[in-house]
A = this chain, B = another copy of it.
Amino acid sequence: MNDKDRRSMPLFGIGIVMKLTELTARQIRYYEENDLIHPERTKGNQRLFSFNDVDRLLEIKNYLDKGLNLAGIKLLLTDEDSNVEKTEEKEKALPKEKKSVLTDKELRAILRQEITEANRFGKANLRQGELARFFVNR
């Protein structure tokens, strides 16, 4: 089993994730509803989160603090560390007509720029992989 597997292994119940991220259950579920995270489920349909999921939630929280909305964050969070099936869902969520002016790529670039900007003033923020850094010796 490699590192990637370990980090995507479903381990945590929502209660623990609430404490780790300081998000409410409502928030966590809402982010899932908006395809920002995709935790596993137990046989009985209860959410089970991986390290990656928790990291991702911390990122989301971080970006929200900076004033981004979920749509922007969704674009920003690339799929490299998520389990989402590539383009399919994304196309559904953002039909062509709505984003005709900018391509995905362009928008993403702009957003990244904004965040970089914001970072200059931002408080001491959590960064990507914070949870991992929390638990993993490096």
Copies of this chain, tallied across the complex: 2
CA distance A134 to B137 in the complex (A): 12
Tell me which residues from 13 to 38 in chain A have a Cβ below 8 Å from any Cβ of chain B: 13, 15-16
B16 touches A11 (CB 8 A): yes
A48 CB within 8 Å of chain B: yes
Residues of B within 8 A of A101 (CB): none
CA distance A16 to B134 in the complex (A): 20
Residues of B within 8 A of A15 (CB): 42
Contact with B along A102-138 (1 / 0, CB 8 A): 0000000000000000000000000000000011111
Q: Smallest distance from the beta carbon of A107 to chain B beta carbons, Å?
A: 34
Residues of B within 8 A of A42 (CB): 15
